[in-house]
C-alpha cells in the first residue's frame, strides 16, 4: 500500500509545508522528470533541459517551479511557447491556455549556467564542485540548484536523467544505468529511476573513479552485476522467504581503493541483516560513491550513498555511518516523510539500525548504546519535541539519538516479537510511499494490541526525557 499526502494548500507559490513553505508549489503533482544535462567539468558549465510531466490538482492559469540561478533560454507548455518570469528562487510559467483541473501537462525548460549550491540555514546544499568533478547533496532544499522542480518531499516522481561529460569521468546518477554511449571525447550516460522519488534524493556524481562491485568474497572490479538468490531469515534466525541478493556497486578514487575494501567489507552482511529485519531492499541496486574530497557528513540518495575521502581510513572507524546510510534506503528514501516535521522517522530509525548492527557484528549491544546515549541526552537541555522539533532543529543530534531511544523503549514496551514484526510491516506496507508520526503510532498500537498514547506522549511529544526501560 502506498500512502498519499494530502494535496498542498491552494496557491501556486507554496506547498503549505509548516517548516519550509517557500519550497514546493501548490496546484499540481509531478509524475515524471526527464532531465538532459551536458556538463563541462573545468568551467563548471551546465547546459540542460527539463521536461516535467505533471497533473493539475486544480485549475491553473500559471504554474510555479523551484529553480536556481540559471539563464533560461525558452519555456514550453505542451510543446507551445509559454510566458515565464524568474523571481528569486521561483520560476513562474504562464501557459498560452489555462490548465483544467485533473489535466496532464508537460513543461519544458531549457537553461544554461554555472550550477552552485543553494544557501540554507544548514549550509550550502545541492550541486557542488569537487576538486576534479562534481557532486549533488540536496537534503533538504538543494534540488533546485540543478533542475526546475516541485521541491517538496511529498511530491515523489519517476526520473530519466541523461548526463553527457568528458569521457575520463565516471557518472553515477541515482537510478538504473540503461545506456552509455561514447563519441569522440565525451560519454553520454542514461539513468532511469522507476520508483517514486523525492527531489532531494536525486543525485549526480561525477569524478575520476574506479568502479567496483561487491561479490560474496569482497569488492572486485565491476564487470556487470547479476543478482544472486539469498535465503533471508525473518525474525530471529527463522527463514521465511527467499530474497534476491542486492547488486552493490561502488565508485572509488583509485588511491582509496584498498582502504575502501576494508572499511566497506562488511556491507554485504549489513544488507542481509537489514533485509531480515525490515523486509526486501526497496530498489534495484545500491551504489556507494567515495569522493576524492573530504565531506562533513555522508549523504543519502535514492539507492545511493556518498562518502568523503575522510570517511575511509582502512580501520572501519566510520562503519556506523555505512549502516546508517544504508538503513535510509528503507527509512527516508522508500518511506519518505510527508513533511519535515516527521524527520525522526528517517533519522531515529537509521540511528537505531546502527545500534542493531553493533550488536549483530560483535560490538556493544543495543541496550548498552541506549544507556550511553540516554545519559548523554539527559545532560542536554530538555527543549526539543521529537515529533515536531522545529525547522531550526531538524538535524539536531537529539532528533537522531532520542528517536533511536524511542524505538528502543518501544521495543521494551511491546516485546521483541511485536516490535520487529512492526518494523517490517511499517517498511513493507508503506514501500515507496509517504509516512507520518501519527501513522506509525497507529500501526504500533495495532501490533501492541493496546493503546500506546501515554508512551508516545512521553517519548515524542514531551521535551523532558523519560527514564530508559531496563536501565
Q: Is 38 helix (H, G, I), strand (E, B) or coil?
A: strand
How does residue 2 score in pLDDT terms, banded at 50, 70 and 90?
Answer: very low
CA 427 – CA 404 distance, rounded (Å): 16
Q: Is 110 annotated as a binding residue?
A: no
Q: Is 380 helix (H, G, I), strand (E, B) or coil?
A: coil
Q: Measured on CA atoms in the order 459, 463, 469, 471, is the torsion positive or negative?
A: positive
How many C-alpha atoms does 98 have within 13 Å on its Cβ side? 8
Phi and psi at residue 339, in whole multiples of 5°? -155, 170
Quick one: residue 303, left, alpha or beta (phi over 0 = left, psi -120 to 50 = alpha)?
Answer: left
Domains of the chain: 28-205 (2.60.40.1730), 210-329 (3.30.2010.30), 340-461 (1.10.390.10)
Cβ neighbours around 3 below 10 Å, total: 15
Q: Is 324 annotated as a binding residue?
A: yes
CA 341 – CA 470 distance, rounded (Å): 29
Q: Is the pLDDT of residue 84 over 90?
A: yes
Per the model's pLDDT, the better-predicted residue between 32 and 214 turns out to be 32
How does residue 217 score in pLDDT terms, banded at 50, 70 and 90?
Answer: low
Bridge partner residues of 243 (DSSP): 230
Q: Is the pLDDT of residue 225 over 80?
A: no
Ranges of H-type helices in 242-295: 257-263, 267-278
Could you report the per-residue pLDDT of 297-314, keeping only the tens digit for each? 999 999 999 999 999 999
Task: Compute the average pLDDT of residues 119-139.
Answer: 95
Q: Are 194 and 323 in contact (CB under 8 A)?
A: no
Between the alpha carbon of residue 169 and those of residues 255, 285, 314, the distances in Å are 16, 21, 25
How does residue 260 score in pLDDT terms, banded at 50, 70 and 90?
Answer: very high
Match 581503493 to its residue by C-alpha cell: 257
Q: How high is the pLDDT of residue 133? A: 98
Of the given ranges (217-226, 339-348, 363-372, 447-456), which has the lowest mean pLDDT?
A: 217-226
Of the given ranges (61-75, 91-105, 148-162, 236-250), which has the lowest mean pLDDT?
A: 236-250
Percentage of residues in the chain having pLDDT higher than 70? 92
Would you call the peptide bond into 283 cis, given omega within 30 degrees of 0 as the criterion? no
Q: Is 41 helix (H, G, I), strand (E, B) or coil?
A: coil
Match 528562487 to its residue by C-alpha cell: 89
CA 289 – CA 86 distance, rounded (Å): 34
The C-alpha angle 187, 188, 192, rounded to 5 degrees, equals: 145
Per the model's pLDDT, the better-predicted residue between 113 and 15 turns out to be 113
Question: What's the chain's length in residues?
Answer: 471
Cβ neighbours around 443 below 10 Å, total: 17
Q: Is 354 helix (H, G, I), strand (E, B) or coil?
A: helix
Per the model's pLDDT, the better-predicted residue between 196 and 239 turns out to be 196
Residues assigned a catalytic role: 325, 400
To the nearest whole number, what is the mean pLDDT of the chain? Answer: 92
Q: Is 328 annotated as a binding residue?
A: yes
Between the alpha carbon of residue 66 and those of residues 91, 141, 150, 438, 452, the distances in Å are 6, 10, 6, 29, 40
Task: Compute the average pLDDT of residues 403-431.
Answer: 98
Q: Are 309 and 290 in contact (CB under 8 A)?
A: yes
Match 543553494 to its residue by C-alpha cell: 118
Q: How high is the pLDDT of residue 8? A: 37
Q: Is 31 helix (H, G, I), strand (E, B) or coil?
A: strand
Q: Are 348 and 168 in contact (CB under 8 A)?
A: no
How does residue 471 score in pLDDT terms, banded at 50, 70 and 90?
Answer: low
Tell me the chain's radius of gyration from C-alpha atoms: 22
Percentage of residues in the chain having pLDDT higher than 90? 87
CA 301 – CA 283 distance, rounded (Å): 12
The C-alpha cell that represents 399 in the structure block: 532528533
Task: Compute the average pLDDT of residues 210-231.
Answer: 65
Q: Is the pLDDT of residue 340 over 90?
A: yes
Q: Is the pLDDT of residue 256 over 70?
A: yes
How does residue 222 score in pLDDT terms, banded at 50, 70 and 90?
Answer: confident
Q: How high is the pLDDT of residue 454? A: 97
How does residue 5 score in pLDDT terms, banded at 50, 70 and 90?
Answer: very low
Task: Compute the average pLDDT of residues 423-441.
Answer: 98
* DSSP for residue 254: G
Q: How high is the pLDDT of residue 135? A: 97
> Which residues are within 8 A (CB) of 255 and not within 5 positions of it... i.e. 6 or more apart?
292
pTM of the predicted structure, to 2 decimals: 0.92
Q: How high is the pLDDT of residue 216? A: 64
CA 111 – CA 117 distance, rounded (Å): 17
Amino acid at each position: 500500500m502506498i500512502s498519499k499526502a494530502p494535496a498542498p494548500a491552494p496557491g501556486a507559490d507554496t506547498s503549505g509545508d509548516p517548516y519550509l513553505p517557500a519550497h514546493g508549489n501548490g496546484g499540481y503533482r509531478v509524475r515524471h522528470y526527464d532531465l538532459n544535462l551536458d556538463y563541462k567539468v573545468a568551467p563548471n558549465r551546465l547546459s540542460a533541459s527539463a521536461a516535467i510531466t505533471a497533473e493539475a490538482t486544480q485549475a491553473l492559469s500559471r504554474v510555479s517551479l523551484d529553480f536556481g540561478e540559471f539563464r533560461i533560454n525558452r519555456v514550453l507548455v505542451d510543446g507551445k511557447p509559454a510566458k515565464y518570469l524568474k523571481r528569486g528562487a521561483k520560476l513562474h510559467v504562464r501557459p498560452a491556455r489555462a490548465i483544467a483541473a485533473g489535466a496532464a501537462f508537460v513543461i519544458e525548460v531549457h537553461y544554461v549556467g554555472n550550477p552552485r549550491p543553494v544557501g540554507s540555514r544548514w549550509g550550502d546544499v545541492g550541486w557542488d564542485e569537487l576538486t576534479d568533478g562534481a557532486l549533488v547533496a540536496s537534503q533538504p532544499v538543494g534540488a533546485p540548484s540543478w533542475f526546475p522542480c516541485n521541491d517538496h518531499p511529498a511530491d515523489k516522481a519517476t526520473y530519466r536523467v541523461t548526463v553527457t561529460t568528458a569521457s575520463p569521468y565516471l557518472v553515477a546518477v541515482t537510478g538504473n544505468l540503461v545506456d552509455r554511449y561514447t563519441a569522440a571525447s565525451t560519454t553520454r550516460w542514461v539513468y532511469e529511476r522507476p520508483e517514486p522519488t523525492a527531489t532531494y534524493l536525486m543525485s549526480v556524481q561525477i569524478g575520476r573513479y574506479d568502479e567496483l562491485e561487491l561479490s560474496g568474497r569482497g569488492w572486485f572490479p565491476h564487470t556487470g552485476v547479476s543478482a544472486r538468490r539469498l535465503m533471508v531469515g525473518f525474525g530471529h534466525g527463522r527463514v521465511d522467504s527467499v530474497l534476491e541478493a542486492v547488486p552493490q556497486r561502488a565508485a572509488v578514487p583509485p588511491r582509496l581503493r584498498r582502504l575502501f575494501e576494508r572499511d566497506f567489507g562488511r556491507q554485504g552482511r549489513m544488507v542481509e541483516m537489514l533485509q531480515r529485519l525490515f523486509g526486501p531492499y526497496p530498489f534495484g541496486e545500491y551504489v556507494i560513491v567515495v569522493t576524492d574530497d573530504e565531506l562533513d557528513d555522508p549523504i543519502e540518495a535514492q539507492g545511493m550513498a556518498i562518502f568523503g575521502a575522510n570517511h575511509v581510513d582502512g580501520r572501519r572507524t566510520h562503519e556506523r555511518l555505512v549502516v546508517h546510510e544504508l538503513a535510509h534506503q528503507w527509512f527516508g528514501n522508500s518511506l519518505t516523510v510527508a513533511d519535515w516535521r516527521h524527520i525522526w522517522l528517517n533519522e531515529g530509525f537509521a540511528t537505531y539500525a546502527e545500534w542493531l548492527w553493533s550488536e549483530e557484528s560483535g560490538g556493544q549491544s543495543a541496550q548498552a548504546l541506549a544507556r550511553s546515549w540516554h545519559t548523554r541526552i539527559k545532560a542536554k537541555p530538555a527543549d526539543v519535541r521529537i515529533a515536531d522539533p522545529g525547522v531550526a532543529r531538524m538535524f539536531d543530534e537529539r532528533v537522531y539519538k532520542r528517536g533511536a531511544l524511542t524505538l528502543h523503549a518501544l521495543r521494551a514496551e511491546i516485546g521483541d516479537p511485536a516490535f520487529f514484526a512492526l518494523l517490517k510491516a511499517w517498511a513493507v506496507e508503506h514501500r515507496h510511499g509517504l509516512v507520518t508520526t501519527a501513522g506509525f503510532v497507529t500501526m504500533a498500537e495495532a501490533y501492541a494490541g493496546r493503546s500506546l498514547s501515554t508512551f508516545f506522549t512521553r517519548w515524542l511529544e514531551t521535551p523532558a526525557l523519560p527514564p530508559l526501560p531496563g536501565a
